[in-house]
């Protein structure tokens, strides 16, 4: 044992993390080749749908495929989201198992130089099938209308690189006659299915699924999840560039989450000033109360309140599990 102050006297590598949450980091900059509205650090309500889809897809898999109960999703404060999986068994997982989990959840492969990043085959894994079901709910409004991915020849040529060459000519012809992305998408789906039926081409609906996943599937930063040393900004910290608070996202309201109404530190300070001004003007009873009591209540009067509530609910569930586990262990010992 060494006191923290003596940390320099302990040799490097002597400290090993005993436990750590399994974490995921999804950053909008990793989608720059597939979003047309913004690039790098910028985000808007149109491309935020990418984060909405990512949360739904990853969270469903963590919950249903892996059985993880305690998943906290947090807005990073700028252009992405984090997920903290806090189940006791998960916190003790080795790096090798974490790598396995994140591999399972990764589908978009290859860097910028690689054009075709999603490869499916005749047998589609249930995880991918279920992810496609989620993407389907958003694809038209997000990709076809919002991002207008088939807007002109330049943009649809990019999509053609993801499609078998034997149907390129037919697609080009049809695209010229269509008026918008929705019609061009319908033309592509029709062409794929008629070519399969009539010419016995060896491709199926996965041609269109590959396009959907290429444009919409979550892009995880694998290295963040693999290790047990990688640090993420903690929930409720302030993002240094935007001043926004890194707030938990209520899983029941993922689709309503709006990063642009997340409070900034200056807004919270202003709201707190208003609270104390009002209290000074009003009843004097508060002065008799201890300071700590007042402070614990103050956040409830700011726009941070609903986010703190989500966080408290998350912690309560975690605590219930921990108590249940302790009880189970002591019962088992007694029976023994």
Three-class SS state of 40: coil
Q: How near is the Cβ of 34 to Zn ion at its closest, in Å?
A: 11
Is the CB of residue 250 less than 8 Å from the CB of residue 81?
no
Instruction: Report the alpha-carbon distance of residue 247 to residue 251 in Å, rounded.
Output: 12
Q: How near is the Cβ of 217 to Zn ion at its closest, in Å?
A: 17
Nearer to Zn ion, 38 or 222 (CB): 38
Q: Give the residue carrying structure tokens 């969270």.
A: 59
Q: How near is the Cβ of 116 to Zn ion at its closest, in Å?
A: 24
What part of residues 160-219 is at the interface with Zn ion (CB under 5 A)?
none
Which helix H or strand E contains 334, and what residues bound it?
helix 305-335
Q: How near is the Cβ of 215 to Zn ion at its closest, in Å?
A: 13
Is the CB of residue 259 less than 8 Å from the CB of residue 244?
yes
Q: How near is the Cβ of 161 to Zn ion at its closest, in Å?
A: 23
Question: What would you measure as the largest C-alpha separation in the chain, in angstroms?
Answer: 85
Question: What is the token pair recorded at 65?
Answer: 């495929």
SS3 content of the chain, % helix, strand, coil (to 5): 60, 5, 35
Nearer to Zn ion, 37 or 160 (CB): 37
Which x/- pattern, by CB under 5 A, does the window 11-50 give for Zn ion?
--------------------------xx-----x-xx---
Q: Give the residue carrying structure tokens 């790096």.
A: 95
Nearer to Zn ion, 29 or 321 (CB): 29
Nearer to Zn ion, 76 or 225 (CB): 76
Instruction: Report the alpha-carbon distance of residue 63 to residue 55 in Å, rounded.
Output: 12
Question: What is the token pair recorded at 122?
Answer: 């005749």
Number of residues that bind Zn ion (CB under 5 A): 5
DSSP at 73: E
- Residues forming a β-bridge with 23: 84
Is the CB of residue 135 less than 8 Å from the CB of residue 217?
yes
* Beta-sheet strand order (sheet of 71-75): 22-27, 80-85, 71-75
Is the CB of residue 235 less than 8 Å from the CB of residue 246?
yes
Nearer to Zn ion, 46 or 91 (CB): 46
Three-class SS state of 332: helix
Can you say how many angstroms the Cα of residue 37 is from the centroid of all Cα atoms in its chain? 19
Nearer to Zn ion, 36 or 301 (CB): 36
Question: What is the token pair recorded at 189?
Answer: 């789906």
Question: What is the token pair recorded at 74?
Answer: 């947090």
Q: Provide the 10 A C-beta neighbour count for residue 199.
A: 10
Q: How near is the Cβ of 44 to Zn ion at its closest, in Å?
A: 3
Nearer to Zn ion, 38 or 178 (CB): 38
Nearer to Zn ion, 37 or 238 (CB): 37
Nearer to Zn ion, 47 or 51 (CB): 47
Applying CB under 5 A, the residues found at the interface with Zn ion are: 37-38, 44, 46-47
């Amino acid at each position: 044992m060494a006191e923290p102050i003596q940390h320099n006297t302990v040799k490097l590598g002597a400290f090993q993390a005993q436990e750590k949450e399994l974490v995921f980091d999804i950053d909008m900059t990793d989608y720059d080749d597939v979003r047309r509205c913004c690039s790098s650090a910028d985000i808007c309500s149109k491309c935020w749908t990418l984060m909405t889809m990512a949360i739904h897809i990853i969270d469903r898999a963590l919950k249903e495929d892996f059985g993880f109960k305690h998943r906290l999703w947090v807005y990073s404060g700028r252009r992405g989201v984090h997920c903290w999986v806090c189940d006791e068994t998960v916190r003790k997982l080795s790096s090798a198992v974490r790598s396995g989990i994140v591999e399972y959840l990764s589908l978009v492969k290859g860097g910028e130089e690689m054009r075709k990043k999603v490869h499916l085959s005749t047998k589609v894994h249930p995880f991918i099938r279920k992810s496609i079901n989620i993407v389907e709910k958003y694809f038209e409004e997000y990709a076809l209308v919002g991002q207008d991915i088939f807007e002109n020849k330049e943009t649809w040529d990019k999509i053609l690189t993801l499609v078998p060459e034997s149907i390129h000519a037919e697609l080009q012809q049809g695209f010229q006659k269509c008026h918008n992305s929705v019609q061009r998408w319908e033309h592509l789906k029709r062409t794929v299915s008629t070519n399969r039926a009539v010419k016995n081409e060896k491709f199926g609906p996965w041609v269109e699924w590959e396009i959907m996943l290429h444009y919409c599937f979550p892009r995880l930063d694998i290295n963040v999840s693999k290790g047990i040393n990688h640090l993420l900004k903690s929930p409720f910290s302030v993002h240094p560039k935007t001043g926004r608070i890194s707030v938990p996202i209520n899983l029941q309201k993922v689709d309503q989450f709006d990063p642009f109404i997340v409070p900034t530190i200056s807004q919270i300070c202003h709201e707190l000033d208003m609270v104390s001004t009002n209290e000074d003007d009003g009843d004097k009873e508060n002065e008799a109360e201890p300071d700590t009591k007042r402070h614990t209540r103050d956040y409830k009067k700011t726009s941070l309140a609903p986010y703190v509530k989500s966080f408290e609910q998350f912690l309560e569930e975690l605590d219930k599990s921990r108590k249940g586990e302790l009880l189970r262990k002591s019962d088992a010992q007694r029976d023994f």
